[in-house]
């Protein structure tokens, strides 16, 4: 059940990971709890029942019946591996292991996680309170996301869409694809984009369509090399107009993120 995307995790991949963790852990008593992060090395959650595992944007929250939340974030390279409990040891590389949670049936092991921490469920706001509307959350609110985007009208739209304080869940793949499908260049200021609500709603639909499966398909064609319009296609012809797709990096200093676009289709 190991599953790595090979790219920075997008909201759909995190949602899917949360679902797999929920299926393996929820409703069951933890019989194994092993934190390999110095700060939480002495935390022991055995005996507690996991009530749910949820994604909030790109954050993963595993909650127990004693009001404890295990908060993790995949960041660049993190992943979870779920295996039958009778297999004994976690199968991944042990030096990359950050956390093991298990019950009588399943063992869930988190590797290379960018964040691993334990906090009271009542204080989750401390780690997710800054996030904008969750694209895959039950209460997704396009208008609220637009209102947040509009707070910085002169910011490039590509950068603004990646800012999880505006809306939570988009990464570089869906940013590039959403902007291509709406014909908007990533460098355009937010205020110049005609229909921001349609833009964020398209991002929501793309993530939603991909949440149940690995990979990110925005073209409707899941065959290798055909999944995206512009993402990962620098130097190759645009699928619509044949213009060479461009690649660049933009963003605040030190946080530059990759972007792909068609200079003809996106204005
Ligand atoms: Zn084009």
pLDDT digits (tens, 9 = 90+) for 149-166: 999 999 999 999 999 999
Partners of 32 in the β-ladder: 102
- pLDDT tens, residue order, the chain (267 aa): 333 334 568 999 999 999 999 999 999 999 999 999 999 999 999 999 999 999 999 999 999 999 999 999 998 889 999 999 987 788 888 899 999 999 999 999 999 999 999 999 999 999 999 999 999 998 899 999 999 999 999 999 999 999 999 999 999 999 999 999 999 999 999 999 999 999 999 999 999 999 998 889 999 999 999 999 999 999 999 999 999 999 999 888 888 889 999 999 999
Residue 125 Cα, ligand 1 centroid: separation in angstroms?
A: 42
Residue 240 Cα, ligand 1 centroid: separation in angstroms?
A: 5
pTM: 0.88
Q: Nearest-CA neighbor of 108 among 87, 77, 136, 127?
A: 87
The residue from 32, 58, 81, 98 that is catalytic is 58
Residue 112 Cα, ligand 1 centroid: separation in angstroms?
A: 38
Is 58 one of the catalytic residues?
Answer: yes
What is the rounded distance in angstroms from the CA atom of residue 52 to the CA atom of residue 97? 22
What is the rounded distance in angstroms from the CA atom of residue 217 to the CA atom of residue 225? 10
Which stretches within the chain are classed as H helix?
A: 11-25, 125-128, 142-149, 157-162, 172-182, 196-210
């Amino acid at each position: 059940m190991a599953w790595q995307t090979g790219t920075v995790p997008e909201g759909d991949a995190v949602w899917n990971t949360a679902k797999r963790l929920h299926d393996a852990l929820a409703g069951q008593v933890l019989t194994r709890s092993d934190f390999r992060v110095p700060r939480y090395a002495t935390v022991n959650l055995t005996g507690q029942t996991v009530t749910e595992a949820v994604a909030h944007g790109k954050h993963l929250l595993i909650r127990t019946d004693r009001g404890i939340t295990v908060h993790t974030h995949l960041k660049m390279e993190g992943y979870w591996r779920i295996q039958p409990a009778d297999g004994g040891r976690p199968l991944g590389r042990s030096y990359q292991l950050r956390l093991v949670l298990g019950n009588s049936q399943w063992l869930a092991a988190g590797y290379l996680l960018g964040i691993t921490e334990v906090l009271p469920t009542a204080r989750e706001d401390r780690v997710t309170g800054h996030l904008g509307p969750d694209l895959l959350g039950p209460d997704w609110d396009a208008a609220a996301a637009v209102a947040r985007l509009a707070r910085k009208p002169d910011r490039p739209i590509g950068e603004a869409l990646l800012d999880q304080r505006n809306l939570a869940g988009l990464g570089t793949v869906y940013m590039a694809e959403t902007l291509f499908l709406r014909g908007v260049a990533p460098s355009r200021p937010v205020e110049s984009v005609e229909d921001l609500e349609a833009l964020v709603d398209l991002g929501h639909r793309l993530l939603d369509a991909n949440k149940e499966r690995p990979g990110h398909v925005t073209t409707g064609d899941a065959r290798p090399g055909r999944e995206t319009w512009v993402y990962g296609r620098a130097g190759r012809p645009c699928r619509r107009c044949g213009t060479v797709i461009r690649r660049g990096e933009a963003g605040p200093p030190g946080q530059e993120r990759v972007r792909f676009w068609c200079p003809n289709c996106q204005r």
